[in-house]
Amino acid sequence: MWWVKLIVIVLLLAALFSLGRALMALVKGEKGEGKSKTMRALAWRVGFSVAVFLFILLSMMMGWITPHDVNPKLRYGQPIEQQAPAE
């Protein structure tokens, strides 16, 4: 489903944007004001990252996305037959 990928990309871009805002607040900020803006922007970044993780888990549970096998020795749940090395 294309819309699941779109939501994940938008949330990741929002986290990246928030990280940039935190950097700008840290560079520009005065003593008292800059740190609170930095912390707020970093808190938003963490929130977006958690939202991505939870959305991916929800998508897998609802069947919108399916994980694929990362084990190269298994294919469709069955072991791949080993061939004898050529001599």
Q: What is the pLDDT of residue 81?
A: 61
For the cut 90, the answer to whether the pLDDT of residue 87 exceeds it is: no
Domain assignment present for residue 42? The answer is yes
Cα separation of 48 and 56, whole Å?
12
Domain assignment present for residue 59? The answer is yes
pTM: 0.66
Domain assignment present for residue 76? The answer is no
Bridge-partner residues for 79, per DSSP?
74
Domain assignment present for residue 85? The answer is no
Please tell me whether residue 64 adopts helix, strand or coil conformation. Answer: coil
Cα separation of 52 and 24, whole Å?
24
Range of the structural domain that residue 22 is part of: 2-67
Tally of domains within the chain: 1
Q: What is the pLDDT of residue 70?
A: 64
Tell me the CA end-to-end span of the chain in Å, nearest whole number: 47
Domain assignment present for residue 29? The answer is yes
Domain assignment present for residue 11? The answer is yes
| Model confidence pLDDT, tens digit, residues 69-85 | 665 555 555 555 656 66
Q: What is the pLDDT of residue 1?
A: 80
Domain assignment present for residue 39? The answer is yes
| Model confidence pLDDT, tens digit, residues 33-81 | 656 888 888 899 999 999 999 999 999 899 888 877 665 555 555 555 6
Domain assignment present for residue 74? The answer is no
Distance, CA of 71 to chain centre: 21
